[in-house]
Each structure stands twice: as structure tokens, then as C-alpha cells.
């Protein structure tokens, strides 16, 4: 287990889906930062389920309780620990699953790794519920970044075959705020309706769909990140692959860059209002691992929810023979839209860590 | 700078393109491992330029000299340091570039980070030449892994619009060996010819193209890697983004998974010859960050070479005004085919690190 | 802040003395380990105050509540988070201290570091109370180690000028158990009475005294630890200096070795019952950073409690002028005896981390 | 093996005593720092043997060759790798030692860890020769620190029973320079003569002696270091125990603090010239793991050289029986005086790392 990331800002996530609580310990937060708890709660509510037919009926209030590090609404330098108490679990739903690993879930690998001792009720520590404490950390990071003019936002770029329009070359904090206020986080609401239709179609087929999330950050200064293996891309990718179901991460043009020519993919530099900037941003704000000062742009691919209502082929671990499994209980036909704030959260946490480390290229 | 990666096995890369040498220090290699230097040289030769009209005319012999850690052809437990001496540099080619950052290169971000003090001759520490010492480390890791039945191989999955066929579900060490022996590393030689034609067409247009590399590893046991942020995917992605020009990394179906349904993307389990295995491998050998025992399958997107022969728009740093730049000197119209062994090298190094750490889920 | 240590086993401590709770998150515990909660409580009670005239009257029950990682009394592989809720604080005692840093405490350095934003009530995150969650982690580690035949024990080697006898060359688990059962942890109870008299004399003088703790571990296999900077001594020292008030750490003969001759300090090897062992143990079980298989023996120096009842010279931070300070409220005239289980705890946690990492010198 | 330390500044040491070279790779040096190579050579010469009857006759020139990171005498941001080529080894002296581990050396533990595969000629990677590359790193760090008004110096505080006078409360750069210029680094030359007599007496007895080194650093700002486990003391101790033969580390009063009362050991604060400072410095410049702005003062205990001319009892690993060993060849009767610049080097490297990380307590 290494449910931690970060260099100066260390974020440790704990808890199991059906345990006593899920939570996060954040070590290295700067002191004296006011945290707006209502704003934080609004951020947490964006990933909360139970609000639409698109997600599970599990009622999670996701209200954090702060055990340390926050006094009178302000960070105090000491590690900040916050928990969300669990409730409303239906653990009996998961009895059969101890023996029959669900395809696409970590049940089998967890069984191998912890030799049958893992608490896998509701997915245990692998559950999407662990993204709630990640959002506590990320929501706090977002507030601290915003105070320095750095804004992070994301939208659902695609679901199954349906595509949203991409971010404009220079997204703004206002655009991010507008997205955050939408019940379904897309730039083109028509595409959003088509996505929701695709999700419901999958649900009706007792199936599920995946999606791609595009995230951007504006206002980050140039010069952050250390090549070759401690750069902006290395750190973001390492953290983003920690979000359950993420199977791909790309920056700027990403995989599409492999189909472009150099003359198309290179970003010319120009002097704008006395400052040097790239005219385009195919690089997604990173060259040689170091931030260029342009928006950081990344995409994360989220696979379709492995829990589906159809019978699936698996094995019985105890009997060592083939078996069939039908997953009962609640599960989302798509988690990509709920993962949008999670990608924002992880991105914000990594960028705050980079900002705290600073540019020590000279001194 | 943090040109290091790894947890138990720590790999540190040093050197600049036109400095005295490039090299690698490998801390944490197990002792008593014989290293076949001829085999290592053959591996290094796979990334060496100067062998075809597709790559630069720079003559690099890329013969490593071992300074420590290898005695009588065997690792001795002490850190292994190896260097490749530089020669045949044309530094005068790069005089103009100190003032005019090349679009798509790290010149601008390096200038910001090191405030004009970076040695950027030939790309300096950002040069593709730094992948030679990475290949020393990876070539050694490949030999140690092979002795335990773990084989790593890669091919060029696409160049511009041309696609190679993907790896079969169960690639073998023999297939990897056959690929390694080819002058152009593709599964479908017809596709390979089309790729080479695309590269030469770009060269004739004073332009460049990118590509995608698919890499696989077979024989890795199930249970390696630690969720959530220290798993197989997190570590591989963090290291792979350290290869110059990589802009995207995906595992298994990767971004394509976002277009599949759960019923298509889930890998059913079955008992095969008394052992549990997944029937398909859309997960690319990783579930919940932990290896499944199936082949690890990943793809890395390599952007088109930023150095192109056409005039490009940039700025003069000294005069703070717009400028035009034409890059002279040698450069590859495509680096993706030469990056194939580099992706293998980095993958092998990360997998050996995971194997050395072992599965400490129970004990 | 970096209230974390460990490589495979990551221990993160959080909480402030007068905050909501103090706690610990332990990431990387092996799964399937039964934890005897009564034994753990007995271990925690050894550092608890309020039991004698030698320590503060603060009533701390120090009962941990487990939020994650422990199901049905057994570790489950997921991070284990445990908290101790705070109560019985007298925060009003500390109002004056915000302005007048207490000599010998971290008040001044915390004021500089967090620019006045630190929560220093009761010492905040620097309080000795933070050793309670350390003891949760260490108590769990001790149980896991004991199951593998590795025992850790400690005694108070000196208080002011009074010396206990040192550990015998081959201390046993029985000796450690006998020490743990004593109200005052010394080998020679006569020395213990003299120590307690010295503590009470200091208390009567409105003063305080320090002491030295000797800790040993038996049963650790040879071959653990990695030279030069990741060895048994490096890791233990780095962690032990995290215990508040520790100002020195030594192994084996330690500083006394500097007064010995090589012929006296070297430990001859001999074959005993077919096994190779050192005849003496001046090295304290470590040579070249690697465990020898002999008992690990270390000593940690604990400074006298900085909180004393006498008026002390300090400054007023707000007025920038000299000031006098008299500390009211509860404080221990000596903390060294209460630090004995803390040194055991930290030692056990580091040794378990080393054991989990294992000897990867060959494979 | 983990012959690395540092967080922002990563220092990796490689090489074996009788291998091709010893060297160091320094990742994270700020760019644009001029390195005075003559000054560096003078620093390296302070640890070089072969200059007096007190040390081995091995002729080491210890001239570093820079492979990367240093261009035109200035750091360029890229990792700096420097090597010292080995020569004048008498490997035949060590043939017998493969089978008979020398008491007090790492021969036995290395044999266990690397299962007979370690290159232990001349002590291999455990040799004191590895302190030469450490001094390259530390000598560079010292120059960078000096440019910011931070000076590091050390003297031999004791040899066997002979004591030097301690550093004054406020040592200066001039004092450090005077010490560095002395052939025998003590404050009281009379004590120095007695120390040299003790060393020669031991040599005449075919024996060896140890010593204690006191090191101080002045000019470090307050507020550096992160409690609880990443503070100034934790990091210095972890690195200092990496110097071969160091068995104890203490700060300020260190172990002596355990014999003081709180009223004696506490450092009162006072306003001096408008600045807050401690009147005394029993804390050695660190409170709560954070620098106070007062001099950092530490002591490291160096054990007597394990190599002595007398016959010693050991075992034959191959025959599994008791054996006698007489070490021939060259060896120092005392290494403590040569370790003085090494302690400075490691201290300087750690302090530069702390300074580069900076105080991110607020931002």
C-alpha cells in the first residue's frame, strides 16, 4: 500500500468503503491559509452520488470532519487530517464477492496481494469512495491556488462515442466556475444531453460506459518542474493514475501529436504585451517537463464501470473452478462525470506541491 | 533537476549532449548478476543513430565504459556507474540557439528555470542523447529480468497515420527477439515500409513526424505494485514521461477503453491448466494498480521531432522581440523508431524495481 | 511539516495537543496480522501521564479508535488510521505563550516558520502528546515483530547523574517483558529510586532533569539495511530525532568508542553452535550500515523538560523587547522515563520497515 | 545499496576502493554557481592520506574529473558528475580477506547481504575512499553556502582521552578558515600534539584510536527544517551516519544535556541589535527540528580504525570454523582527523539541501 503522493505536500488517503471512515492526511500545507468550508462542501458535492438516475442511490453526505491542522478556519502548519464517516453501506451485498472476483475490479489482484485478508466490502480501499478524501485535499489546494491566481477546471470531454468541444486555447477561471455550476460538466450542453442518453442506454442494457476528462490549469508560472523524472507531466501522471479506473493520461495534443507533423505541433513563441508566450499550446503547457506559463492541459481516460448488471464469467477462488457472477447492489453505469472533480482535485494538489517546491533552478 | 527514478533500484542519469560524457548511476542492483556486454551493446545499437537515411548523421559509437559496480562481468552490489564519452559534436551549430528558443524544445523553459545558465548545446541535458544511458540501465534490467522468465519487447505501433498491427494477446519472448533483430521494429513489415515512406516524405518537406510505441512485458507475477499511488501504472507512467518527447501514456485499452462498454472492456477470469488467468487483457495486466499476471501492455505517444528544417517563428530573448529561426545542423525527421528500445529500457527498469521490492502485502 | 517516516511502512503522525485529536496513519502494514488491543493498550499506558507525582496531572486515557485498516482485529492491507480524541486541555494556560516564546521549546522557531499561524496551545504539533500516536504505530509493529521472534525493549539508562546498569550482551524477550511491567523502567531498582529522587528534587526546585534511554532489539536477521545512507543506523537515527527532546543518538559503544582502541572495540567473530556470530557487540549490531544478527543496541539522549516553574528570560514577539516569563500549568519535571516506550515504538517501527523491505542484495 | 541522500539536492556516491574510479553524481545543484576548482582541491587535500606518519602511505592524488554539470567553471543546472580515477591499489593484500571477515569491518555483513558477490578489495564500496567523492559534493556545497554568508567548519574535539577545547559560542568563518589551514585540525595546538602522540602510541602498539569531531555552521537563517521527521537534526543525522565509522551523532549539548537541569539547558531569548536571538546555544541551533538562526553545532563519534596490525580472532567463511587473521597492508592508526573535512562536507551538503528547499511554512 502506498496511498500517498507528493514531495513537499504529502497527501495520504485512508479508509475502506464499508469501514468506519474514509479520510485524508495532508502534510506540508502552508500555514495561514483560510479555508472556505462552504466552498469546499460545494466542491465535494460535485462528486457525490445519489443526485440523479445516472449514479448510485447510495446516500453519502460527504461532510468532512477536521481532526487537525485547521484552527478557526485557517491552516496552522500542522498536518491536516479530515475524515468522512461512513454510513448507509449494504455490506451483505458483497458476501458472494469474497469468493468470486469481479472482472475489471481489483478483487483478484487484492486477493493475491493480501492473500485473502483484504477488506473488499464495497471495493474496500479500492472503492471510488476513496476519491472523496482526495477531493478534500484537492478542494483545499484549489482554494490556495486560486488565491495566487491559479485556477483549475475540468469537463467531460467524451462519453463512449459522444464528444464535447475541447477547452479553448486560453480557458479562464470564469469558464471553470460556469462548468462547476452545471449539473453535468460539459462545455456543449447538447453533447452533455447525448452523453446522458448514452449513459442511460448503457444502464438499460445492464451495461456501463467510460469517458475522457479534460482538465486545465491557468496562471501557473513558467519554470516549475524538474526534468527528467520529476517534471510536471511525470508527477501529474503518477498521481492521476491513482484515481480508480484511469487507464490513460496525455498532455497537450497527447496521442494526437503522434499523427501531426512537427510544423503543426510546434508552438511558435511571440512577444505579447512585452511578455514571451507561445502562440499555440499543443504542448499543453509543458516543455522538457517544465511549465511554460501557458495553460496546463491534460486528459485522463476513465474506463467503463466494471460493475455491470449482466452475468459475467469468473472463477471461484475457493473451489478453483470457473463460475458465473451477477453483481447485485448499487453501481453507477458511468463514473466519468463524477470523476471530473476528482481529476481537478488531483491536478490541483500536484500543482500546489510544485508551487510550494518552487523553482530552485537558481538561487 | 531530478534525473532519477526508482524506489529500490535508483537510476540517475547525467550528462549533456555536448559535454564530456553522458552516463548513468544505478543504485540497488542485486549482486551476482552476470551482464553479457555484447548483448548489451546490441541493445544499445538499436537506438544508435547514423545507420540509415531516417536518422541523423552524428556518429555515436555508444560504447559504455563501466566505472563501478561491475567486476569480472558480474554485478557486485555496489552502485553501477557507466559512461559513454561524447565526441563528434558540432557545437558551433548551436550558437544562435542561445538567444532564440526553438519551438517545441525545452530551450525556453530551461532559460527560465536556470536563468540563462543552462548548457543547451545540442539540447544539453534535454537531448535525446540522454536516452543512451537510460538504455544502459534498461539493457541491464532486461538481462536480469530475462533470467527470471520476464521478457520485455516493443514495436512501433504507428507513425503519422500509418498503423502497425497490435501485439497479439500473449506475445512471447521469441516475438520480442524477432522484433529486436529487425532494422525497423514493426510487426507488419508492409506497415513498416509505409512508415519509412512517411518519414522520408516529412524529411523531404523539411518537416518531421511522430509515432506511438507499444510495449509489452510477459512473465511478471501477479501481486506486484501498491495502490493507489505506487502501483504498476503510476510508476511506469512517471518514468515513461521522462523520455524526451513522450506526451501520452496508456495501459491496456487505454483511451480506447473510454469508448467501450463495461461488458466489452472487462476481462473475464477463467481457470486454465489449474491456474487462474484473465481470458482477455483489456486491462493491460494491471487492476487496481497491481499486476494481474497477464502481459503488461502500454503505449507511449512520441511527438514529432521539434527540430525541423523550415523557418519557424520565435523570439530573441536578448532583444525581447519576435524573430525567425532556421535550425541548421543534423536532426532526425522522426525519433519514434529510435525511441522503441528506450521505452523497453524504461519499462524494464521499472519492472525490475517492482520485482526487487516484491509483494510485501503479507509476510 | 513532514511528520512522516518509513520507506515500505510509512507512518504519518497528525494532531495538535489541544486540537480535536491526535492520530497516526500507517501505510504499508502487511495484511492478516492480528492485533491484540489489550496488549496495545498496556503498551500505550506505559507512556501515559497522570499516574505518579513524577508526571503531569493531565488525565489522558489514550484509548485509540481505529478508523481504517483493522477489521475483526486483523490488519487488512489498507492504511491503518487510528486516533486518540483529545480532552481535558486547559488552553487558557497558554494564552501568554503566543507572544513570549518559551526557552527550549519550539515556540520561537514555529513562530518564524509559520509566521504566527501555528496552533501552539499546549505545544501544538510539537507536544509530547504526539508520541501517543507514535506508540500506536510502534505498539502494532512490536506485535508483528514479536510473531517473528524479534523483540524490542528499553530502559532508562540514566537520569541526571544517576546511572542504571547497561543491558547485558544478550538481552532477552523475558528481560524486556519484566522491564515493561515495572512502574519505573530500570534494570537496577536501586538506581531507579535514586533517579526518582533526582526527579523529585528537580521538581521541588521548580526545575527539570533529562535522561538517557537505552533500547535493544534481539532476533533481527543479519543482512538488513543498505549502505551508505539507507542503513540501519541512518534510518533509526532519522526517526529517533523525531521524538521531541532527543538531542543525541548512538549505536553500540557510540561516543565511548571514540575513547577505545581498535583492539578493544572490534568484535571478534566465532563459530557458535555452527553459526557465525560476534563474540562481543561493541558495534551494537550494525556494521557498514547492515545488521550483523547481533542485538541492535542504541541510546537516545533526552534533554531536561524545557517547561520549568522558574521565571525565565525571553522576549515579547509583538513588542520586540526583552521580557520575563513564568510558565504555569502542568508539566513534567522529567520526560525521559515516559519516553522509554516511545523509543521502543520508533525503533520497532523502523525495524519492521527494514524487515518488510527485506534483504534484496541478491535475488 | 542506497548510497544517496538529499531531497532537493540529491547526492549519489559510487565506486569501490580498488575499482576503476570513485565518484559522485549531484542532482539538483542550482545553476550559475561558479566553482573555484583550486579551492575545491585544497578542501579535498585535507582528507587525502599520505602526508604524515599518521596516515596510510597510499598515494592518492584525489583530483576530480568533471563529466557533466560544470561548464566554464560554472554549474549549468544539469546533474554534476565527477570522478576520481583509482590507482596505486595493492589488491593482492586483500586476497585472504575474502574468506576471513575482518572484525569491525563490513566484510561479514557484506558477505551476508551480497552472498559472496561483493567486491571487497580495499573495503570495496565501504572503504573510507568513498569519502573523497563525498568531499567533492560537500566542497561544492561549501562554496555555494559561503556565497550566502553560511560557513561550515569543524575540528577534532577529541582523540582517545585527549580533548580539544570546544568551539566558542559564536564561531566565525575566520576561525573555520584558520582551522582548515592547519595540518592537524584542532583549536588548541597543545591538545593536537597530545592527540598525535596518542595516535603514534597506538600505531606503535599495532593498534588504533578513535575520536570525536565537532562541526559548526554559522549564518543559516531561522525557520529551515520540517518537524517531526524531516528536520535539521533528522536529516543531518541520517547523512552523517553514512560516513564510515561514525557511531554517534549529537546536537548542541547532546548527551550532556541529559545530565543538565532545564534551567541550565534552556537558552533564554533576548533582543540583540533589534534582532531576536538566543543568549546561549545549548540547543545547537535547532529547536523542534527547525533552525533557530544560531550556529548549528553537532558532534560525530568516530570509532577506532578496525584495521589493526595485531592478530585477531575471526572465522573462515568457507570452512565454517574459527580462524586467526593478521591484516597486512596499509591502514591508518586513526581516521578521525581525516574525517574532519568529511563531516564538514556532509553537513554542508545537508544544509544546502535545506536552504534550497527553503521555508515553505507559509507562502
pLDDT tens digits along C165-180: 999 999 999 999 999 9
Asked if D327 contacts D311 with a C-beta cutoff of 8 angstroms, the reply is no
Where does the pLDDT of residue B363 fall: very low under 50, low under 70, confident under 90, or very high at 90 and above? confident
User: Are residues A361 and D28, on separate chains, in Cβ contact within 8 Å?
Assistant: no
Where does the pLDDT of residue A6 fall: very low under 50, low under 70, confident under 90, or very high at 90 and above? very high
pLDDT of residue A1: 77
Asked if C9 contacts C140 with a C-beta cutoff of 8 angstroms, the reply is no
User: Are residues A30 and D226, on separate chains, in Cβ contact within 8 Å?
Assistant: no
Q: B58: Cβ–Cβ under 8 A, 6 or more apart, which residues?
A: B49, B50, B88, B330
The nearest CA of chain A is from the CA of B30 a distance in Å of 23
Tell me: pLDDT of B71 over 80.
yes
pLDDT of residue A192: 97
Q: Which residues of D touch C223 (CB under 8 A)?
A: 109, 112-113
pLDDT of residue D50: 56
State the average pLDDT for chain B: 94
Count of Cβ atoms closer than 10 Å to residue A87 Cβ: 10
Residue pointed to by grid coordinates 463495461: B262
User: Are residues C361 and B31, on separate chains, in Cβ contact within 8 Å?
Assistant: yes
Cell numbers of C270, please?
A: 566465532
Lowest mean pLDDT among C65-74, C81-90, C321-330: C81-90
Q: Which residues of B touch D116 (CB under 8 A)?
A: 32
Q: How far is the C-alpha of D110 from the C-alpha of C288, rounded, in Å?
A: 8
In chain B, the residue whose alpha carbon lies closest to the alpha carbon of D126 is B78
The nearest CA of chain B is from the CA of C255 a distance in Å of 29
Alpha-helix residue ranges (DSSP H) falling in C147-187 = 173-181
Count of Cβ atoms closer than 10 Å to residue D210 Cβ: 29
Cell numbers of A30, please?
A: 502552508
pLDDT of residue A105: 97
> By the CB < 8 Å criterion, does C31 face chain B?
yes
Q: What's the mean pLDDT in D22-38?
A: 98
DSSP secondary structure string, A67-125? EESEETTEE-SS-EEEEEE-----GGGGTGGGTSPPTTSSHHHHHHHTTT----GGGGG
Tell me: pLDDT of D61 over 70.
yes
Tell me: pLDDT of D164 over 70.
yes
Tell me: pLDDT of D199 over 60.
yes
> By the CB < 8 Å criterion, does C69 face chain A?
yes
Q: How far is the C-alpha of A2 from the C-alpha of B22, rounded, in Å?
A: 33
Choice between B91 and C163, residue whose per-residue pLDDT is larger? C163
pLDDT of residue A97: 76
- Chain Cα centroid distance, residue D147: 22
User: Are residues B1 and D124, on separate chains, in Cβ contact within 8 Å?
Assistant: no
Of A4, A10, A20, the CB nearest to C68: A20
Tell me: pLDDT of D268 over 70.
yes
Q: How far is the C-alpha of A83 from the C-alpha of A67, rounded, in Å?
A: 8
pLDDT of residue C329: 74
Tell me: pLDDT of C50 over 60.
no
In chain C, the residue whose alpha carbon lies closest to the alpha carbon of D198 is C261
Q: Which residues of C touch A4 (CB under 8 A)?
A: 10, 12, 27
> By the CB < 8 Å criterion, does D362 face chain A?
yes
Choice between B330 and B233, residue whose per-residue pLDDT is larger? B233
The answer, yes or no, to whether ipTM is higher than 0.90 is yes
pLDDT of residue A331: 82
Tell me: pLDDT of C58 over 70.
no
User: Are residues C358 and B361, on separate chains, in Cβ contact within 8 Å?
Assistant: no
Of A30, A355, A360, the CB nearest to D8: A360
Q: D109: Cβ–Cβ under 8 A, 6 or more apart, which residues?
A: C222, C223, C287, C288, C290, C291, C292
Where does the pLDDT of residue B48 fall: very low under 50, low under 70, confident under 90, or very high at 90 and above? confident
Encode C300-336: b = buried (16+ Cβ within 10 Å), e = exposed.
bbbbbbbbbbeebebbbbeeeeebebebebebbbbbb
Choice between D331 and C254, residue whose per-residue pLDDT is larger? C254
Of A3, A13, A77, the CB nearest to C1: A77
> By the CB < 8 Å criterion, does D28 face chain A?
yes
Tell me: pLDDT of A93 over 70.
no
The nearest CA of chain B is from the CA of A143 a distance in Å of 23
pLDDT of residue A358: 95
* D residues 244..283 contacting C (CB < 8 A): 244, 247-255, 257-271, 274, 276, 278-279, 283
pLDDT of residue D69: 98
Q: Which residues of D touch A150 (CB under 8 A)?
A: none
Where does the pLDDT of residue B55 fall: very low under 50, low under 70, confident under 90, or very high at 90 and above? low
Tell me: pLDDT of C60 over 70.
no
pLDDT of residue C75: 98
DSSP secondary structure string, B319-344? TTEEEEEE--S---S--HHHHHHHHH
User: Are residues D363 and A8, on separate chains, in Cβ contact within 8 Å?
Assistant: no
In chain A, the residue whose alpha carbon lies closest to the alpha carbon of D355 is A363
CA distances from A25 to A10, A138, A185 (A): 8, 12, 28
Q: What's the mean pLDDT in C283-310?
A: 98
Of B28, B32, B361, the CB nearest to C30: B361
Tell me: pLDDT of B87 over 90.
no
Domains and CATH numbers, chain D: 4-357 (3.60.150.10)
User: Are residues B360 and C358, on separate chains, in Cβ contact within 8 Å?
Assistant: yes
Cell numbers of B234, please?
A: 503510476
Tell me: pLDDT of D93 over 60.
no
Where does the pLDDT of residue A210 fall: very low under 50, low under 70, confident under 90, or very high at 90 and above? very high
Mutate to test the interface with C, among A69, A79, A132, A353 (most CBs of C within 10 A): A79
User: Are residues A1 and C77, on separate chains, in Cβ contact within 8 Å?
Assistant: yes
User: Are residues B310 and A263, on separate chains, in Cβ contact within 8 Å?
Assistant: yes
Range picked from A59-63, B215-219, D331-335 for highest mean pLDDT: B215-219
Q: Which residues of B touch D81 (CB under 8 A)?
A: 14-15, 21, 23, 25
Nearest to B301 by CA among B169, B195, B159: B159
Tell me: pLDDT of D111 over 80.
yes
Query: Which stretch of DSSP H or E encloses residue A215?
Result: strand A211-218
Q: Which residues of B touch A313 (CB under 8 A)?
A: 268-270, 279
The nearest CA of chain A is from the CA of B72 a distance in Å of 32
Kindly list the partner chains of chain C, i.e. chains with 3 or more CB atom pairs below 8 Å.
A, B, D
Q: How far is the C-alpha of D332 from the C-alpha of D50, rounded, in Å?
A: 10
Q: What's the mean pLDDT in D270-295?
A: 96
Task: Write out pLDDT tens, residues B278-312.
Answer: 999 999 999 999 999 999 999 999 999 999 999 99
User: Are residues C25 and A16, on separate chains, in Cβ contact within 8 Å?
Assistant: no
pLDDT of residue D97: 75
Q: How far is the C-alpha of A3 from the C-alpha of A280, rounded, in Å?
A: 36
> By the CB < 8 Å criterion, does A77 face chain D?
yes
In chain A, the residue whose alpha carbon lies closest to the alpha carbon of B291 is A109
Q: What's the mean pLDDT in A143-165?
A: 98
The nearest CA of chain C is from the CA of B144 a distance in Å of 10
Cis, peptide link before residue B76, omega less than 30° from 0: no
Q: Which residues of D touch C227 (CB under 8 A)?
A: 1-3, 106, 125-126, 242
> β-pairing, B269-272 with B246-251?
unpaired
pLDDT of residue B331: 82
The nearest CA of chain D is from the CA of B356 a distance in Å of 12
Q: Which residues of D touch C305 (CB under 8 A)?
A: 262
Count of Cβ atoms closer than 10 Å to residue D241 Cβ: 28
Tell me: pLDDT of C118 over 70.
yes
pLDDT of residue A51: 58
Choice between A124 and A95, residue whose per-residue pLDDT is larger? A124
pLDDT of residue A91: 58
Q: What's the mean pLDDT in D280-301?
A: 98
Lowest mean pLDDT among A74-88, B84-98, C195-209, C278-292: B84-98
In chain D, the residue whose alpha carbon lies closest to the alpha carbon of A358 is D357
pLDDT of residue A59: 61
Cell numbers of D189, please?
A: 595546538
The conformational region for residue C125 under phi > 0 = left, psi -120 to 50 = alpha, else beta, is alpha
The packing angle between helices D37-47 and D340-357, to 10°, is 130
Nearest to B289 by CA among B355, B359, B225: B225
> By the CB < 8 Å criterion, does D146 face chain A?
no
pLDDT of residue D240: 98
Tell me: pLDDT of B57 over 80.
no
Query: Which stretch of DSSP H or E encloses residue B145?
Result: helix B131-147
User: Are residues C19 and A78, on separate chains, in Cβ contact within 8 Å?
Assistant: yes
Tell me: pLDDT of B90 over 70.
no
Amino acid at each position: 500500500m502506498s496511498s500517498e503522493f507528493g514531495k513537499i505536500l504529502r497527501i495520504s488517503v485512508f479508509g475502506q468503503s464499508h469501514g468506519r471512515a474514509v479520510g485524508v492526511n495532508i502534510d506540508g500545507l502552508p500555514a495561514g491559509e483560510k479555508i472556505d468550508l462552504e466552498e469546499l462542501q460545494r466542491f465535494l458535492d460535485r462528486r457525490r452520488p445519489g443526485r440523479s438516475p445516472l449514479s448510485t442511490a447510495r446516500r453519502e453526505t460527504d461532510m468532512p470532519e477536521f481532526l487537525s491542522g485547521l484552527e478557526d478556519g485557517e491552516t496552522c502548519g500542522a498536518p491536516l487530517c479530515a475524515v468522512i464517516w461512513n454510513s448507509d453501506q449494504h455490506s451483505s451485498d458483497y458476501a458472494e464477492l469474497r469468493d468470486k472476483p469481479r472482472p475489471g475490479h481489483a478483487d483478484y489482484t487484492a486477493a493475491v496481494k493480501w492473500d485473502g485478508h483484504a477488506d473488499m466490502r464495497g471495493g474496500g480501499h479500492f472503492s471510488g469512495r476513496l476519491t472523496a478524501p482526495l477531493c478534500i485535499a484537492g478542494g483545499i489546494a484549489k482554494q490556495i491556488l486560486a488565491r495566487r491566481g491559479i485556477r483549475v477546471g475540468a469537463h467531460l470531454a467524451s462519453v463512449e462515442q459522444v464528444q464535447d468541444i475541447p477547452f479553448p486555447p486560453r480557458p479562464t477561471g470564469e469558464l471553470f466556475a460556469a462548468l462547476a455550476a452545471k449539473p453535468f460538466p460539459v462545455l456543449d450542453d447538447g453533447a452533455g444531453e447525448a452523453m446522458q442518453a448514452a449513459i442511460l442506454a448503457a444502464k438499460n442494457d445492464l451495461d456501463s460506459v467510460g469517458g475522457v476528462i479534460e482538465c486545465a490549469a491557468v496562471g501557473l508560472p513558467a519554470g516549475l518542474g524538474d526534468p527528467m523524472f520529476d517534471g510536471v507531466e511525470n508527477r501529474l501522471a503518477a498521481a492521476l493514475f491513482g484515481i480508480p479506473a484511469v487507464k490513460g493520461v496525455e498532455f497537450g495534443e497527447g496521442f494526437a501529436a503522434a499523427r501531426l507533423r512537427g510544423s503543426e505541433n510546434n508552438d511558435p513563441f511571440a512577444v505579447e504585451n512585452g511578455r514571451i508566450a507561445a502562440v499555440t499550446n499543443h504542448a499543453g503547457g509543458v516543455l522538457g517537463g517544465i511549465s511554460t506559463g501557458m495553460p496546463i492541459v491534460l486528459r485522463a481516460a476513465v474506463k467503463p464501470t466494471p460493475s455491470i448488471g449482466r452475468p459475467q464469467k469468473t472463477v471461484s477462488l475457493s473451489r478453483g473452478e470457473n463460475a458465473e457472477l451477477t453483481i447485485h447492489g448499487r453501481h453507477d453505469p458511468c463514473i466519468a462525470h463524477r470523476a471530473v472533480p476528482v481529476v481537478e482535485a488531483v491536478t490541483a494538489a500536484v500543482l500546489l506541491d510544485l508551487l510550494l517546491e518552487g523553482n530552485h533552478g537558481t538561487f
